[in-house]
Amino acid sequence: MAVLSIVLGAPAQSLLDEDENMAEAVHRFYGDKAANRLRGWRQLVREGQVTDWSDRETLSRVNIFFNRLHFIDDIKLWGKNDYWATPLEFLGAGGGDCEDFSVAKYFSLRELGIDDDKLRLVYVKALELNQFHMVVAYYPTASAVPLILDNLDGTIRRATERGDLEPIYSFNGQHLWLMRERGQGELAGKASRLSLWNDLRGRVDVKRLQRPSMNLDG
């Protein structure tokens, strides 16, 4: 699919053909509302690819688009304690947990041309909720304090403004970091150490869609 043409280096096909194939597959598997969400996503990506958006505008549009979906725990939606949905599954189901929001944003930002070196998926502890959580961090430069994209707080803020989040580790398409201080980290190895991340990247395909345990669209 088009998402992987950038993230994993797969040969790119016609964007319109890819969009049509995805819309048809999502419609068959999840229904009309899901297909409409998919079309909205592809419209966002297409517009961004032909428009000279700044990185900040790209971050904002992607963050707003996905934060409209429902938050729901994996055990309720997928019948599993921990399941990382692909962007197609997230849009198909119409909701997901923090990992699903973050993964969908990450793949979308990559497809919209944001370099992988500027992005990390970050596991944090949400202190006010006293639970683990995932966000997307965007680094304007390698040494900069990152901007945080989060489904709990829809406003994009610098990490230093998010005293409610305690970073634990982060990763992107290539690397895994253990966090030492807010916004920075120590390189700790390859992202391949994360089995759920590997599993997800191996099934970002219309042929491997999974059906949720409940229908959020009613």
Q: Most confidently modeled of 24-28, 135-139, 173-177?
A: 135-139
Domain containing 83 equals 12-202
Identify whether 64 is part of a domain.
yes
Smallest Cα–Cα separation from 3: which of 109, 151, 93, 89?
Answer: 109
Q: What is the mean pLDDT of residues 21-39?
A: 94
pLDDT at position 111: 95
Q: Which two tokens stand for residue 26?
A: 């999502």
Question: Encoding tokens for residue 125?
Answer: 């502890």
Position 174 confidence tier, pLDDT thresholds 50, 70, 90 = confident
Question: Would you state the pLDDT for residue 8?
Answer: 43
Cβ(49)–Cβ(61) below 8 Å: no
pLDDT band at 218 (very low <50, low <70, confident <90, very high): confident
The answer, yes or no, to whether residue 179 has pLDDT greater than 50, is yes
Q: Which residue has the tokens 């019948």?
A: 79
Name 116's Cβ contacts closer than 8 Å, sequence gap at least 6: 7, 110, 172, 173, 174
Q: Is residue 213 part of a domain?
A: no
Q: Are 43 and 20 in contact (CB under 8 A)?
A: no
Residue 182, domain member (yes or no): yes
In a domain, 151, yes or no: yes
Can you say whether the dihedral through the CA atoms of 142, 161, 147, 81 is positive or negative?
A: positive
Q: Structurally, how many domains does the chain consist of?
A: 1
Report helix, strand and coil shares of the chain as percent, to nearest 5: 45, 20, 35
The residues, ordered by sequence, that sit 6+ positions from 27 with a Cβ below 8 Å of its Cβ are 34, 35, 38
Q: Which of 207, 202, 200, 212 is nearest to 99 (CA)?
A: 200
pLDDT at residue 129 in the model? 93
Report the DSSP beta bridge partners of residue 131: 126
DSSP letter, residue 193? G
User: In sequence order, which ranges of 78-213 are alpha helices (DSSP H)?
Assistant: 87-93, 98-111, 195-201
CATH number (domain holding residue 196): 3.10.620.30
Domain membership of residue 217 (yes or no) is no
pLDDT at site 192: 64
Least confident window among 59-63, 94-98, 156-160, 192-196: 192-196
pLDDT at residue 99, rounded to an integer: 96
User: What is the bridge-based pairing of β-strands 95-96 and 70-71?
Assistant: parallel
Over residues 190-205, the mean pLDDT reads 82
Element (H, E) at 19: helix 15-30
Percent of the chain with pLDDT over 70: 87
User: Given pLDDT bands bounded at 50, 70 and 90, which one contains residue 26?
Assistant: very high
- List phi, psi (to 5°) of 28: -65, -40
The answer as to whether 218 is a domain residue is no
> Would 7 be classed as within a structural domain?
no
Terminal alpha carbon distance of the chain = 28
